[in-house]
Structure 1
Amino acid sequence: MKVEPDYRKLLELAHYKMPFGKYKGRYLVDLPLAYLVWFRQKGFPKGKLGEHLTTMLDIKDNGLEPIIRKIQKEFPKE
């Protein structure tokens, strides 16, 4: 089985901003790891935001933040 990235989802994730709370307006990649871990403990929100927060936690846990930052730089949101 070959796994291929969904580039549209990666672009969306790279440019998705926190819609509420202490970090409102920040890109998800800029959220502190402790905040993402707190969400995991309390329960991620439902829907797209929860999916993106879960993915971002996985990205940060695996040291893959530079990939998201590269996407932000090379494909700026119009």
Structure 2
Amino acid sequence: MRLNDSKDIAEAVRKARKALRWSQSDLADKVGTTQAVISRFESSGEARIDTLLKITEALDLQLLMLQKRESPLWDD
């Protein structure tokens, strides 16, 4: 699934959470944060990167970073 902005990511997280029948509090407990942090992320798409990685791990999701076009910056 290609997601183009933080709101798309937040919506995918919300759908994954609901598919597992978890409340925001359930996810927050698994991530080690508060329900308010999960709610804010799902509504605004804003979260710290470390929090987002914990959320995706808890939901058994994976974030991938892909190069849009050929660039010498990625040549190592």
TM-score strictly above 0.5: no
- State the structure with more CA Rg: 2
TM-score by length of 2: 0.28
